[in-house]
Structure formats: C-alpha cells, structure tokens
C-alpha cells in the first residue's frame, strides 16, 4: 500500500499485461514488468510470473499483495502435495485447482485475476484462467491485466492451434509489446 496526498492508503496494483499460450509441446508465458499505483510507478521491475511448483507458473494481475499471497500459499501447498505423492511436482490441472480454491475461498476481499500455466508429462502444455471470483477455465491461450483490453482483437485474429515454439514465442512477444505501447499502466 502507499499513502496518497489525502493521507489515505492506496492499493498497489500490478497495472499489467500477462499472457500464456500453448504450443505443440509446451507453453510460453509473457508479462510486462511494471507495478503501479494510480499514476505512480511503485516498482519498475516487478516479477509478474511466479513459479508455484516444478514446471507450473502463476501469471499475476490485480492487487500485488493479493497475488503474491496466493502464489505463496499455492507454492507451499503444492510442494507439500508433491512430497506426499513422492514426486518432484504436480500436474498443471492440480495446481490450477489449488489456485482456484484459494481465490474462491477469499473472493470477498481478493482483487486478483490469474493465469496458471505449465507443462506436465501427462497432458503437456496447459493454460488455465482464474478470474476474479475464483472460477477455473482451461483455454489454449489467455491474456489478462489492464493491457489485455488493447490486444484482445490481435490475439483472437492471430492465435492458431499447433503453433511451433518459435511461432508461439513471437506471438506472445508481439501481443505483450502491443499492450505495452497502448496501456499507460503496462511497461
């Protein structure tokens, strides 16, 4: 949180563009790097992609504090779960369900939209969206954050199934770059 001129605390939001996209064999994640609070840049190099367990990541948008808390709880729970299973990590679907449960259980106070993406040996690359309110949807690609409104038409027009890794990287890089150029909160 940060104090405003009126003496009130203002929530620090990620002011963000986040994205994840599957390709034939994996998943590519992308995000801008700035955290803002109104017109104030609270952190110019924020990490909006957080590892929650082996080969599974959380792309975070909304309240920086809320999404960091979700990532921390998910990491703790999923690593404990992996130990209980006797494996190095858990499947992407399980991780997404844990994030969804945390978001749903805390929906009354949480201001966060998240994308869970990763790879596992059973289902390959996967992307799940956990919007505010704590629902869960599996999708081939997802965009989120304040910058996403500027690139929805671009991603809808340019996404194609079975992209190669290099095509997917170029697609994500171009989409996030376009959002950064249009969204004053993304950088």
Active site amino acids: 16
- Tokens 């992407």 belong to 92
| Distance (Å, whole) CA 51 – CA 72 | 10
Bridge-based pairing state of the strands 124-130 and 112-120:
antiparallel
Q: Are 12 and 66 in contact (CB under 8 A)?
A: no
Q: Are 146 and 17 in contact (CB under 8 A)?
A: yes
Cα angle value 38/50/54 (rounded, 5°): 170
| Distance (Å, whole) CA 174 – CA 127 | 19
| Distance (Å, whole) CA 110 – CA 157 | 32
């Amino acid at each position: 949180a940060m104090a405003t001129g009126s003496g009130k605390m203002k929530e620090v939001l990620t002011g963000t563009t986040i994205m994840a996209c599957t390709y034939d064999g994996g998943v590519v994640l992308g995000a801008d790097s700035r955290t803002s609070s109104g017109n104030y840049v609270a952190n110019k190099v924020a990490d909006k992609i957080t590892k929650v367990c082996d080969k599974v990541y959380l792309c975070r948008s909304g309240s920086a504090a809320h999404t960091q808390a979700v990532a921390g709880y998910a990491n703790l729970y999923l690593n404990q779960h992996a130990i209980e299973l006797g494996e190095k990590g858990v499947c992407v679907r399980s991780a997404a369900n844990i994030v969804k449960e945390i978001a749903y259980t805390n929906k009354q106070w949480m201001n966060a939209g998240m994308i869970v993406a990763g790879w596992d040996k059973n289902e390959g690359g996967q992307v799940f969206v956990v919007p505010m309110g704590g629902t869960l949807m599996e999708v081939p690609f997802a965009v989120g954050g304040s910058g996403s409104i500027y690139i929805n038409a671009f991603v809808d027009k340019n996404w194609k199934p079975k992209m190669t890794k290099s095509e997917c990287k170029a697609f994500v890089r171009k989409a996030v770059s376009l959002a950064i150029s249009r969204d004053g909160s993304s950088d």
